Amino acid sequence: MAVLVTGGAGYIGSHMVWELLDHGETVVVLDRLSTGFDWAVPDAAKLIVGDIGDQALVDDILSRYDVDAIIHFAGSIIVPESVADPLGYYLNNTVKSRALIECAVRGGVKHFIFSSTAAVYGTPRVIPVPEGEALEPESPYGRSKLMTEMMLADAAAAHGFTYAALRYFNVAGADPKQRTGQSTRGATHLIKVACETATGKRAHMEVFGTDYDTPDGTCIRDYIHVTDLVNAHYLALTHLRGGGESLVANCGYGQGYSVREVIEAVKRVSGQDFKVVESGRRPGDPVAIVANPDRCFKVLGWRPAHADLEEIVRHALAWEEVLVRRNRV
Ligand code: UFG
């Protein structure tokens, strides 16, 4: 019996692979290496380089490795990029997810865990936002993921598998054991960008928008340590395998930080006073979004171990040093 991790050569996927291996699971990774790296996949997992939309390949993997669960990370994840290339996002995140779900149904896969996103809420009216709030995504990215949530719900009802759609807030940090981290080239995510600037890989960084209706004028996000996030997936897998019902759950801590607060934390932890330039708003950015994570606590028994912004930043910075030492930058 094996778990198929799509996108397992990427940032969050590779952490998931380590989490599964740490729990003694057999892991198969399917990744086309468009943004991920073969070296990010541990030797103990089987890496198959290919596309999730290639149904002949997926059918073959599911039967060959006796896959009982799919954890589906593969997809495109950058909000402003989705505004510029919506059809690319609907292809990668919606159309190809549909193809993968169809294979899962055909192959009798029992459980499906999906990387969803806080972007499905848009700018929530209630903060911290619970799962039952209105779903009004503000970007093609959020809409492309929401459609996949809907497909999963309908397909699970029709075909008898169970699923978890986990809505990630802002994922950051790296494996505390430094086995993997965020290695994306040309990254756009705030903590990664700030850590690259602190370690001299960028000359400066920008703050996108300082005129939002927030205490310091910059956007507010709920930053979650990647290790806690993948642990929530493992708990979701255990829940579903134990006969638990399908669920949709927020993955965040319920604590928001502004862009300026995050940059200050990176400066403090790194001891570097790097250059920060204020610029205009970035398209598709909601002003403030913070999770109500109660469902993860109650249904999955999730107990985050790294809910501390400085710890997230410390691990992210440590990973930047690892990338330099291993000549991966
Ligand atoms: N930001 C900057 N400068 C940068 C990078 C980001 O000011 O160099 C700002 C953004 O404008 C935004 C905030 O920092 O206000 C966070 O931006 P990120 O790019 O780090 O993350 P997003 O909030 O755009 O998106 C991420 C994930 C989504 C998820 C969302 C949930 O990519 O999958 O968090 O809030 F849905």
Hey, what domains does the chain have and what are their CATH numbers? 2-172+223-251 (3.40.50.720), 190-221+254-325 (3.90.25.10)
Residue 152 clears pLDDT 90, i.e. is over it? yes
User: Distance between CA 287 and CA 138 in Å, rounded?
Assistant: 11
Residue 168 bears catalytic tag = no
User: Distance between CA 119 and CA 96 in Å, rounded?
Assistant: 19
Q: Residue 240 in contact with residue 164, Cβ under 8 Å?
A: yes
Q: One of 11, 90, 121, 141 is an active-site residue; which one?
A: 141
User: Distance between CA 9 and CA 20 in Å, rounded?
Assistant: 14
Does ligand 1 have an atom closer than 6 angstroms to the CB of 81?
no
Distance 205 CA to ligand 1 centre (A): 13
Model confidence pTM above 0.90: yes
The secondary structure element, H or E, covering residue 18 is helix 11-22
Express each pLDDT in 196-238 by its tens digit.
999 999 999 999 999 999 999 999 999 999 999 999 999 999 9
DSSP 90-114: IIIIIIHHHHHHHHHHHTT--EEEE
Strands (E), the chain: 2-6, 27-31, 46-49, 67-72, 111-117, 162-168, 170-172, 204-208, 220-221, 223-225, 247-251, 257-258, 275-279, 288-289
* DSSP-derived pairing of the beta strands 247-251 and 288-289: unpaired
Distance 74 CA to ligand 1 centre (A): 19
Minimum-distance ligand 1 atom for the alpha carbon of 262: 14
In the structure encoding, which two tokens stand for residue 80, read together? 């402003």
- Give the ipTM of the model, two decimals please: 0.97
Name the residue with tokens 């075909």. 159
Could you tell which of 12, 79, 193 is best to mutate to test the pocket of ligand 1, judged by most ligand atoms within 8 Å of the CB?
A: 79
Express each pLDDT in 26-56 by its tens digit.
999 999 999 999 999 999 999 999 999 999 9
Does ligand 1 have an atom closer than 6 angstroms to the CB of 139?
no
Q: Residue 32 in contact with residue 41, Cβ under 8 Å?
A: no
